[in-house]
Amino acid sequence: MSTHYFTIKPLQYDVFVGMDVDKTSISITVVSHEGELLQRKLPYDAANLLALIAKRFPTKKIAFCYEAGPTGYGLYDQIASAGFNCIVVPPATVPKAPSERVKTNRLDSRKLAESLRGGNLHGIHVPTAPYRSLRHLVQLRETLLHQVVSYKNRIKGFLLMEGIPFPPATRRCQWTQKVLEQLKTMPLPITSRFKLDSLLYQLQSSKIQLNQITTGIQKYCSEEPELSESIQLLMSLPGIAWIVAMHLLARIGDWRYLQNPHQIAGLLGLIPVEDSTGLVINRGSITRMGDSAARNKLIETAWTAIRYDQQLREFFLRVCLRHPRQFAKRKAIVAVARKLTIRIYVVLKFRRPYLPYSQFLALQEQTRR
């Protein structure tokens, strides 16, 4: 499990509030160390919730929790601004008995309250406003990027189905302006022409939107000093360009939450699955938890990094030698990506750009003199 989670200490609180939230209502269960105290269903309004809790438990120390979901972090913001401790819980981490077959909002709120009282819930670090906004923009860019790729594939699929060869293009880029012009002017039956023109129009529209959101993200980051500084720090690492840097920063969030060098690897699902017992150690493939887009971008970055960083290249070759040839490179490049997460942690946590080892030694030598 990623150390990007945290828990509360139950003995520090008197009352525990579990909330099951949907778009119109909040089902709450309130328990203490002695047992259940209250169960209600309220409209989705934090003011009503806080007023009820203040009226019924004015002198108690209270902890709240609810599952992360489509309602976002608005409820968390209002509870936290009122001075209470609230944790947002990933649904996959909530303990569940295998025999459970009945699921209702009331039962879910009770399960959350009891698990919170038992110290069994792991809350995520809710991103602060600048990082939350960056994450929204990055997610929109990823959606538009997938649309562009989808329309390109649909155009190729349509031409293949009609038996029409795709216009010749360079090996590095199949979608040059010359190719697009040929697609717009090639002779086709009227129905085929209409469908191809429609797909080309949708492709062009998605590309324009993609460029606009990319420009918007650049402008937003430049206006936020902390985001701009963090992106520059990430770009000092070999292989990491601006797009990868802003995507990683959106997923990692506030650097102040980073606690150890292995946290980012866990967040991106780059740690191995393990099923060990006694003296038997069984480790498998990576967990693949977290944001797959950020993980894939970091692995692609690793291929670039080993071309420019001698240490990483030597590490890549050493890992290759330890595995069978058919999948040695695949395992080695994932190991390089995980090594990059440690460097990412260092530059973000200590707020200093990355220096290659040779330059670091030279700087130390100058300092001694």
pLDDT at residue 279, as a whole number: 76
Segment 35-73, tens digit of pLDDT: 999 999 999 989 999 999 999 999 999 999 999 999 889
Q: How far apart are CA 197 and CA 203, in angstroms?
A: 10
Name the phi and psi angles at 341, rounded to 5.
-65, -30
By DSSP bridging, strand 5-6 and strand 36-43 are unpaired
Q: Any idea which fold 5-124 has?
A: Nucleotidyltransferase; domain 5 (3.30.420)
Amino acid at 309: D
pTM, two decimals, is 0.86
pLDDT over threshold 80, residue 78: yes
- Cβ density class 204-234: b for 16+ within 10 Å, e for less: eebbebbeebbeebeebbeebeebeebbebb
From the list 36, 56, 23, the residue with the least C-alpha distance to 110 is: 36
Q: How far apart are CA 52 and CA 40, in angstroms?
A: 10
Reported as a pLDDT band with limits 50, 70 and 90, residue 277 is: confident
What mean pLDDT comes out for the span 243-248?
95
pLDDT over threshold 80, residue 2: no
What mean pLDDT comes out for the span 135-153?
96
pLDDT at residue 285, as a whole number: 84
From the list 41, 40, 33, the residue with the least C-alpha distance to 16 is: 33
- Cβ density class 101-132: b for 16+ within 10 Å, e for less: eeeebeebbbbbbbbbbeeebbbbbbbeebbb
pLDDT at residue 287, as a whole number: 84
Structural domain boundaries in the chain: 5-124, 129-223, 240-361
Whose tokens are 């695949």? That residue is: 330
Q: Three-class SS of residue 312?
A: helix
pLDDT at residue 189, as a whole number: 92
Amino acid at 366: Q
